[in-house]
Structure formats: structure tokens, C-alpha cells
Structure 1
Amino acid sequence: LYISAIIIQTRSWPELETSILYQRSECELPIEHTAKLSDKLKSHVSLGKNRNTGVFLDMRAGWQWVEENAQDKSVLNLFSYTSIFSLFALEGGAKKVINMDMSAGALRTAQRNHNLNGISQGKANFVKRDILKSRKQFSSYGPFDLIITDPPPYQKKAFRGWQDYKRLLGWCKDCLNENGTLLVSLNNPHVTHQQFKDELGDCFPETKEMTIIDSCAEIKENDPSKGLKLIAVSL
């Protein structure tokens, strides 16, 4: 085992900054690679050219939670990107997973990931939709036992932050089976865990349980109170 290259990739805006600190031999970007996600699962990643590599490693605690809570469940994975949550849901025994995203490229990688792991066996579907314009479409696949939603904090013309998130959460609630669970994520450094939890409490006053899923120990936040927020809401 040896290191073939060391790449520093900074997700600055609007330009992506990439520098190669070391390379054993001449290499071209992007570097396409298969990475281990766990002892059993792996994923395609693309390094050095695209803003997003295909995997968000800070979500690892969420993947583990899904694997531990997906047995025999029908799952809806919204803003699914390359559908890593789907892999862990299926590994955890989910009956079916509907993955929905507006990016055809991300969904192609998602299908590639599922084929790579030989895990779907017809249990995973991949649907290209603008989610905020697709309430009828995703509700028609339900109802669901678990809905995962990981939208961008803000995306011009596509997602306007909390006002759209709140509307989406209402739709998700209507698509849940009795005793269903929402796994909700927010990656907005201007909002604390407590503020997000309070907002969710206002949206779901009938909540039976709300569990904050802590980040993995190796993921260090500058301000832990404002880092990635991942909460399981049991209704």
C-alpha cells in the first residue's frame, strides 16, 4: 500500500480550488476512485475537479443510524444525491428505498453505487424530480416508515431555506405511516442545534421523541453547536 497522490481541495465559492501537494507519478484530475464507506459498503468518488466528490463523510453517524433503524421499513430518501443513505438502509434490511434528486448525474452515480455493492435486488428506485414541485409524485410511492431529507441550506431558484424546508416537512408528515420517523438534516452554520430542534418542535407539536444524532468523533467542528445538524423525529 502506498500513497499515489495528496490533493487539497477547497470548496470555496464560486471557484473550486484544487492543488496537488504530492504525486508519485503524473496524474490527471479528476481522479476516479472506489472508497470504503464501511466494512461492507463502498462508493464511487471523484476527486479534484467537481465541487462535491460524491460522498459527504460528515454524515457517517447518520448512515450508521439509518442502517440500525431500517429493518423491514419503506424508506423515502429526498435530496438523495448519490444515494449513500440508500445503501445503508438496504444493508440494514429496508424493504424498499425511493431515492429522489433533481440531478441526473448524481442519480447515475447512485445507480452505479448500488450495482457496485450488489445490494439493491430491485428494492431501490431512482427518480429524477425537482422535489418542491413533486409532492404528488413522491406521495404516490408511499406511505413510508422512514423519510430522510437532506436539502441544501439554500439553492438559488430551487430551495429558499427554512420557508421551503418547513413546507417540505409538512408534506413528509402526510406521507408517513403511523409511528413513522423523519430523519432531518440541516447544514447551516448560522443555526444552532437547539434552534433547529425548537423549529422542528413547532412544526411537529405531536412529536413522541426527538433524538439529536451526534457527529462521529473524528469529525471536528469549529463550533459544535452550529455544525451539521441531524435529528430523528418520531411521530
Structure 2
Amino acid sequence: MSPSSPSLVDRLRSARERRGALLSDARTTAFRLVNGVPDGMPDVTVDTFAGVHVVSLYRDFTPVEEQALLDAAQEAWSPRSLYLKRRPREARVLANTARDVIAPEQPARGEAVESLEALENGLRFLIRPAQGLSVGLYLDMRETRAWLLGQVKGLTVLNLFSYTCAFGVVATAAGASRVLNIDTSRRVLDWGEENALLNGQPVDRYDYVAGDVFDWLGRLAKKGQGFDVVISDPPSFSTTRTARFSAARDYPQLAEAAARLVAPGGRLVACCNLSTLTPRRFEAMVLEGVGRAGRQGRSVLALGPSPVDFPWSPEAPPGLKVHVVQLR
């Protein structure tokens, strides 16, 4: 990329034009503007949240390349702000030791924005673009959240690895009778409570549980609790004080524990964002776990990111896989 390359500006403008359906949707102001190779921008993604753009780099760009990209984005889109996230393979390790390098708190271009509200299907979510690599909402889950809106009226929902509780907000808006959110981090659960309040939803601290998910799955099972819908959206890799989780290795174990809490006739919504795991292999792992729990289940639906803002190609297939399993 040369600093003044018109082709780079053109590619960014073309990527934005391909999001036309989203650009004209007043009920959704959070979506992906650039999705790597399919948009002609290898190793680059750009997410927009009500005019604040978050640029993520998935290899070590030179300073000249970075500045060229940021200049081109400013010219192509004239955003309110551009925030930069550097996500090389070692980013998960460096995020705690070199956060100012991986995820600078100050914008690369434009005004500093501590927080803002973004819309998704008419619901409001608090975004903090300067707070680390994750800014509050995973946009590839928009289609799954939209599906959930029509599925849980009057039902109980367990939201595992809830992060800022976007699924919980959607389930409550859809008329769920109860939503229990569990995450290891009290900080993001507090953020989830803020999201609920933004949408005029009541907040009960007992429904925002901080702790190890596997531990809580066991505790809830011992109490004989069941839920009509269990949503499992773990990180691909995680480490707690007591355990390490790898989706490629441990998803059957997670599906087994989650299936034990699905009420008869209920559904397990199993999600995975590990790009190296094929949809067929992931489905097999989920069904293996359901069988280990002594339950019978069948896949009834496969979901994924929207092709409008998450286009894919054979060399860059979608990373997100969602399988909905109906249990007897």
C-alpha cells in the first residue's frame, strides 16, 4: 500500500457501498464495513458503531502501511473517529503487557470517544471503543440475535459466556420469562446491566452471575434447574484460575454440561468462532456432547454472520458457526 494509493481509497469506498442495505437501516448503526480478503483488504477488518470506526489489523503492518490505511479510511469515509486494534497471533498474550501498543486508548484519527450508543435491530448497546480489543458487541452474531427475537417469548434462557449480555438484552426484549447471564468477568456483566438499562429493562443482580461457567453449569445441574434455551458462545481459547478451555478440544465437554440444563423439548444454541473448525466437525462435536449427557438431539438450524457485511470466499470462509439443537 502506498501512502497515496487511489486504489486503496476506492476499495474502501466500494466496501462501504456493498453495505447499502445496512447503511439505509435506521434501526442498525453497528456493522462491519470491511471483512478482509472478500473485500479486497487482506488482514484488515473495520467495524463501525454509529460513525466511530474500529480498524483491526491481523498481521504486523509497517508504520508506513498503517498510516496509508488510516489516511485512506479517513478520505474514503470521513468517520467521526478511527480506533486502531493490532491483532497479530500473539495479541492475546501481549494485550495484558503492551495494551497501549495492541489497543491504543487514543483514536488514530478524529475525536476521542469514551463511550457511545449503537443500535442493532432497534436495541441499544453501549460501545467503548478505547477499552481493549473488544469494544462491547460482536457484530457477526447479529443474525443469530435477530433469530432469537422471535423464539423465546415466555421461555427461560441461560446465556453462557455472556460478555456484555447482548443475547440477554435481546431475549428480554423478545419477552423471555427469565434470562440468566453467566461470565467470568464482573466488569463485563456490569456493562451488560448498563445495556439492559439502556433499553428500559429491569435489572436483577441475581441474573448476572460472575464465575467459571463450567463450575456454574455443575452447580445448576445439581440443583435440578433447566432452561428452555441455553446459549453457549465461548471464546475459542480461555484460561481461568481453575481450567483452560480450547474449543477445538473441549467443545464436546461444554456441550455435554450445557445439554444437562436444557429442558425437555428445549434448544441448545451452540456457537463457535474458531476459523479452523469446519461447520461439519463443529456440529459433530456438539452432538457428541449432547449424547454424552444422555440426551437425544437433532440439529434444526445452522446460523452464521450476515453475508451483507461479512462476505466470504473459498479462501476466507466465515469463522462463526452456530448450530441450534433440539433436545428431547
Instruction: Give the TM-score normalised by structure 1.
Output: 0.87
SS at match of 1:155: strand
- Is the aligned partner of 1:84 residue 2:166? yes
Aligned counterparts of 1:10 and 1:187: Cα–Cα separation in 2: 19
The Cα shift of 1:123 comes to 10
Which range is displaced more, 141-150 or 96-105? 141-150
Contact (CA 8 Å) 2:302, 2:322: kept in 1 or not? yes
Contact (CA 8 Å) 1:90, 1:120: kept in 2 or not? no
Aligned counterparts of 2:299 and 2:248: Cα–Cα separation in 1: 22
Aligned equivalent of 1:4 = 80
Aligned equivalent of 1:201 = 287
- Structure 1 residues 32 and 81, CA, compared in 2 at 3 Å: closer, same or farther? same
The residue correspondences of 1:159-178 to structure 2 (distance < 5 A) are: 159-178=245-264
- Is the aligned partner of 1:101 residue 2:177? no
The Cα shift of 1:121 comes to 6.3
- Is the aligned partner of 1:152 residue 2:238? no
- Structure 1 residues 187 and 196, CA, compared in 2 at 3 Å: closer, same or farther? same
What do residues 126-181 of structure 1 show as CA deviations (whole Å, max 9, x unaligned)?
A: 01111122234333382100000001111134323344322221122111111110
Aligned equivalent of 2:276 = 190
Aligned counterparts of 1:119 and 1:141: Cα–Cα separation in 2: 28
Aligned counterparts of 1:17 and 1:175: Cα–Cα separation in 2: 37
- Structure 1 residue corresponding to 2:114, chosen from 27, 31, 50: 31
Aligned equivalent of 1:52 = 134
Contact (CA 8 Å) 2:193, 2:203: kept in 1 or not? no
Aligned counterparts of 1:98 and 1:213: Cα–Cα separation in 2: 23
Contact (CA 8 Å) 1:99, 1:124: kept in 2 or not? no
Aligned equivalent of 1:233 = 325
The Cα shift of 1:35 comes to 1.0
Instruction: Give the TM-score normalised by structure 2.
Output: 0.64
Q: Which runs of 5+ in 2 are unaligned?
A: 1-50, 52-77, 96-101
What do residues 69-122 of structure 1 show as CA deviations (whole Å, max 9, x unaligned)?
A: 111110000000100001111111110000000101000101111111112365
Aligned counterparts of 1:79 and 1:166: Cα–Cα separation in 2: 16
Contact (CA 8 Å) 1:77, 1:148: kept in 2 or not? yes
Amino acid at match of 2:140: D
Aligned counterparts of 1:155 and 1:184: Cα–Cα separation in 2: 17
Aligned counterparts of 1:17 and 1:111: Cα–Cα separation in 2: 25
Contact (CA 8 Å) 1:75, 1:147: kept in 2 or not? yes
Aligned counterparts of 2:219 and 2:137: Cα–Cα separation in 1: 26
Aligned counterparts of 1:221 and 1:10: Cα–Cα separation in 2: 22
SS at match of 2:198: helix
Q: Which runs of 5+ in 1 are unaligned?
A: none
Amino acid at match of 1:7: Y
- Is the aligned partner of 1:125 residue 2:207? yes
How many residues align? The count is 230
Contact (CA 8 Å) 2:83, 2:130: kept in 1 or not? yes
SS at match of 1:120: coil
Aligned counterparts of 1:108 and 1:122: Cα–Cα separation in 2: 11
Q: Which has the higher helix share?
A: 2
- Structure 1 residues 183 and 7, CA, compared in 2 at 3 Å: closer, same or farther? same
Identity of aligned residues (%): 23
